[in-house]
Amino acid sequence: MWTVVVCLLPPLVLSVFIFGFQTLIITLISVGACVATEAVSQKVFRRPITIRDGSAVITGLLLAYVIPPGVSYWTPVLGAVMAIYVAKHLLGGIGFNIFNPALIGRAFLVATFPVAMTSAWLPPIRNAAIFKYMSSGVDTISTATPLYVLKHYGIQALTEKFGTMSTIYGDFFLGWRPGSIGETSAFLLLLGGLYLIYKKYITWHIPTSVIVSIAFLTWMFGGKTLFTGNPLLAVLSGGVMLGAFFMATDYVTSPSQPTGKLVFGIGIGALTVLIRLKGGYPEGICYAILLMNPLSSALEGWFRPKRFAPEKGAFK
């Protein structure tokens, strides 16, 4: 778990650099609130105190990474209580939770504070000059995320706001775009995820199936929408990398069999594209993962290797 924490730190460093010091404060508050809630919850339920195992720290980091950098400092505290106490310990503690705790915390915050969670975006410092008031109705979204611009205003508004497509690809890959605290840099998240695969802490099945299915289904069904069927843009402009490598691969809420992992990842990718194209939210990977989490045990059973034993007396 501490290796996962280390892999998640580079995106935080970049976030502090491009969004400001408040992102570090929000992250520290989130981690501290999750660790404190973990200790109190285990005390209440008379369970061993295990805050040193790193699980609460990971939840705190991931919770901070999926909220906007401009929210109030008390926001992650409420999300931490929902993530640790409700989504984790009320269901039996670590190893028994059905849903990813950090995503439950985010879903709770979006439902409770929808305005703050969908508008508290900050422009990257390097590109601050780009985020100016613009004509043709785009001035009201001066710090909106790329997916919001793309969904509600189209590809032309996206290029007017973020530059040419080649510039967009480069900036979005490196992390120079508005978004949640830890989701913007596909490059750093990809490096961390590949290291976890190299160390065999996770396997390639879920991340690959999530990313490939989102790219393929966007290419197949997004051609007549504002998403223009651009698979690379679909992967780089949201929280796909964070969700694929660090959320969907959670041991407790995902299958352990290779085939089950592939189906699990494809389901997440399909639901993400469906929510993006037909739903009210521009991004859907959070809810896609949460919707697939309860199916994990079923997929585990469906694709469990069958073990055959010889019939009694077969070797007589």
pLDDT digits (tens, 9 = 90+) for 256-301: 999 999 999 999 999 999 998 888 788 889 999 999 999 998 998 8
Both 196 and 55 in one domain: the answer is no
- In the chain, the percentage of residues whose pLDDT exceeds 90 is 55
Please give the residue that has the higher pLDDT: either 152 or 255: 255
Both 105 and 152 in one domain: the answer is no
Give pLDDT tens digits for 158-188: 888 888 888 888 888 998 888 899 998 999 9
CA distance 178 to 174: 12
Which range marks the domain in which residue 250 is found?
134-302
Both 138 and 110 in one domain: the answer is no
Unique residue bearing structure tokens 């993962």: 289
Amino acid, single-letter form, for residue 211? I
Read off the pTM. Answer: 0.86
Is residue 54 exposed (0-12), middle (13-18) or buried (19+ Cβ within 10 Å)? middle
User: How far from 288 is each of 20, 24, 174, 310, CA to CA, in Å?
Assistant: 30, 28, 25, 42
CA distance 121 to 183: 12
- Out of 95, 119, 143, pick the residue that ends a domain: 119
- Out of 85, 119, 153, pick the residue that ends a domain: 119
Residue 232: both structure tokens together: 């690379």
pLDDT band at 134 (very low <50, low <70, confident <90, very high): very low
- Determine, yes or no, domain membership for 315: no
Both 113 and 154 in one domain: the answer is no
Amino acid, single-letter form, for residue 87? A
Q: Mean of the per-residue pLDDT values for the chain?
A: 86
pLDDT at 64 over 70: yes
Give pLDDT tens digits for 201-226: 999 999 999 999 999 999 888 776 65
Both 247 and 277 in one domain: the answer is yes
Both 60 and 194 in one domain: the answer is no
